[in-house]
């Protein structure tokens, strides 16, 4: 009888699928491994949060772990997982060397979420009022840490084709270390389409996004100061509902009912509020990865206006679920056009449904992923022999990070 395979996920935070796209992504990965028959333990050094998902509902064991504490060594030796998945590179930095030392035969996977170094380099360029260039990545400190983490792992899961190409061309990462696995969604069938509210049943504009994420906060400021006043002038009866988890005081202060700019805070059901809106506005000026809020708009049959950064790597060569523009005047014009023209709105909606079904339907990716994991598990030593840079970094990390961690642990006693 085959032994049940064990997966350990080391989470940066406890998953909150209703607060962020990252939380939704983690649940998708859990379900993907569940379908492969894995027994799953989710461990994290994070504090519990009010909106974290109940992992027991997914038959996942929850385990709190500590940073810089050898109690983790005891825990992982006892668990002896077949596969370890690091949720973002920071978790691989903290725990990767302990996994390598205590469970050397475990397959080590990294879920990048998005390329942090790309997002931060773009953010820095934006704040310094200059254009971003690939050269910015090479001076970004986070890039050195993130790329080292990718090299130390056996496989990194990428949600963006653009970021995969960037890693291969700019950083010369071997494509054998990367695997394209975007958001995994249920296809939208005719029954589902019939349930989507019609053009006539909708009103107003919406923005939705977690406020702990800097690109979202910047986009809301841009809407408030520049874009929304121009739309409001053209459509005085409309309002913009701004939803998002973890709004700070500076976010709440933007609320202005006279201007129709309404800070609504956290949405209990994000899809419900997006389905009621006529148009989603997402004027992102920096960021990385693929945008959960824009996929959610497509799932809800709600057209969107976004920027080239917002739509990056999301739609291939298919027409967008609305409009893509970096020009303020054009952004306003197309938002008003979508709001007023039922025919253009309907075409945009259909484009979004096509994108979901042809690019994000989970059935497109499940078999490939299963095959990849099985292949790596059967050929792990050979796979690692081809990754000398990773082995070298693993060696030096064990020497440096290990003793730094041991020193912090002694200091904490």
Q: Which of 147, 188, 388 is closest to 301 using CA atoms?
A: 188
Question: Taking all residues of the chain, what is their mean pLDDT, rounded to a whole number?
Answer: 95
Average pLDDT over residues 275-286: 98
User: What angle (nearest 5°) sits at the alpha carbon of residue 197, between those of residues 191 and 200?
Assistant: 140
pLDDT at 18: 85
Per-position DSSP letters for 241-254, written without gaps between them = EEE-SS--HHHHTT
The CATH code of domain 6-184+365-412 reads 3.40.50.2000
Question: Does 365 have pLDDT greater than 90?
Answer: yes
Residues 190-360: name the CATH superfamily: Glycogen Phosphorylase B; (3.40.50.2000)
Q: Locate the DSSP E strands across 120-210.
A: 155-158, 178-180, 205-208
pLDDT at 405: 78
**Residue intervals in the chain for CATH 3.40.50.2000:** 6-184+365-412, 190-360
pLDDT at 2: 61
Q: Which of 331, 373, 328, 322 is closest to 350 using CA atoms?
A: 322
Q: Is 323 helix (H, G, I), strand (E, B) or coil?
A: strand
**Measured on CA atoms in the order 325, 180, 178, 165, is the torsion positive or negative?**
negative
Q: Which of 16, 14, 12 is closest to 268 using CA atoms?
A: 16
Average pLDDT over residues 345-374: 97
Please indicate, yes or no, whether the overall pTM of this predicted structure exceeds 0.75.
Answer: yes
pLDDT at 3: 81
Q: How far apart are CA 6 and CA 296, in angstroms?
A: 31
Tens of pLDDT, residues 291-324: 999 999 999 999 999 999 999 999 999 999 999 9
Helix (H) / strand (E) element for 139: namely helix 135-139
Phi-psi region of 111 (alpha: psi -120 to 50; beta: other; left: phi over 0): beta
Average pLDDT over residues 128-138: 96
pLDDT at 10: 98
Average pLDDT over residues 375-386: 96
Tens of pLDDT, residues 32-51: 999 999 999 999 999 999 99
pLDDT band at 407 (very low <50, low <70, confident <90, very high): confident
Q: Which residues contact 315 (CB under 8 A, 6 or more apart)?
A: 321, 355, 359
Q: Which residues contact 319 (CB under 8 A, 6 or more apart)?
A: 351
Question: How far from 282 is each of 162, 332, 340, 355, CA to CA, in Å?
Answer: 20, 12, 18, 18
Tell me, rounded to whole angstroms, the distance of Cα 121 from its chain centroid: 17
Average pLDDT over residues 75-101: 96
Q: Locate the DSSP E strands across 259-375.
A: 261-265, 279-282, 304-306, 322-324
Q: How many CB atoms lie within 10 A of CB 326?
A: 13
Tens of pLDDT, residues 212-262: 899 999 999 999 999 999 999 999 999 999 999 999 999 999 999 999 999
Kindly state the percentage of the chain with pLDDT values over 90.
Answer: 91
């Amino acid at each position: 009888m085959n032994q049940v395979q064990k997966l350990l996920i080391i989470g940066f935070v406890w998953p909150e699928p209703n607060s962020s796209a990252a939380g939704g992504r983690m649940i998708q990965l859990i379900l993907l491994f569940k379908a492969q028959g894995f027994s799953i333990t989710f461990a994290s050094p994070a504090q519990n949060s009010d909106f974290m998902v109940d992992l027991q509902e997914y038959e996942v064991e929850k385990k709190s772990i500590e940073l810089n504490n050898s109690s983790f060594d005891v825990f992982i030796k006892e668990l002896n997982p077949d596969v370890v998945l690091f949720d973002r590179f920071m978790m691989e930095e903290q725990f990767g060397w302990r996994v390598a030392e205590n469970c050397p035969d475990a397959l080590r996977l990294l879920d990048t979420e998005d390329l942090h170094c790309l997002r931060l380099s773009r953010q820095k360029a934006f704040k310094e009022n200059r254009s971003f260039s690939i050269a910015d990545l090479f001076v970004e400190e986070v890039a050195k840490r993130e790329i080292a983490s990718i090299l130390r792992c056996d496989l990194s899961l990428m949600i963006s084709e653009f970021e995969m190409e960037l890693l291969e061309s700019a950083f010369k990462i071997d494509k054998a270390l990367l695997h394209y696995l975007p958001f995994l969604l249920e296809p939208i069938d005719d029954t589902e389409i019939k349930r989507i509210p019609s053009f006539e049943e909708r009103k107003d504009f919406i923005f939705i996004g977690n406020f702990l994420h800097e690109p979202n906060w910047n986009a809301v400021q841009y809407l408030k100061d520049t874009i929304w006043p121009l739309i409001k002038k053209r459509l005085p009866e409309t309002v913009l509902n701004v939803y998002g988890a973890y709004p700070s005081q500076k976010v709440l202060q933007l609320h202005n009912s006279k201007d129709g700019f309404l800070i609504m805070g956290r949405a209990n059901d994000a899809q419900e509020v997006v389905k009621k809106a006529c148009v989603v506005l997402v004027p992102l000026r920096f960021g990385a990865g693929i945008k959960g809020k824009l996929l959610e708009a497509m799932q809800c049959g709600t057209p969107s206006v976004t920027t080239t950064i917002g739509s990056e790597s999301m739609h291939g060569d298919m027409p967008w679920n609305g409009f893509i523009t970096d020009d303020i005047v054009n952004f306003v014009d197309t938002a008003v056009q979508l709001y007023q023209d039922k025919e253009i709105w309907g075409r945009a909606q259909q484009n979004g449904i096509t994108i979901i079904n042809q690019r994000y339907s989970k059935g497109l990716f499940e078999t490939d992923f299963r095959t990849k994991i099985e292949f790596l598990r059967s050929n792990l030593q050979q796979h690692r022999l081809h990754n000398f840079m990773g082995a070298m970094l693993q060696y030096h990390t064990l020497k440096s990070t290990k003793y730094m961690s041991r020193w912090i642990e002694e200091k904490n006693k």
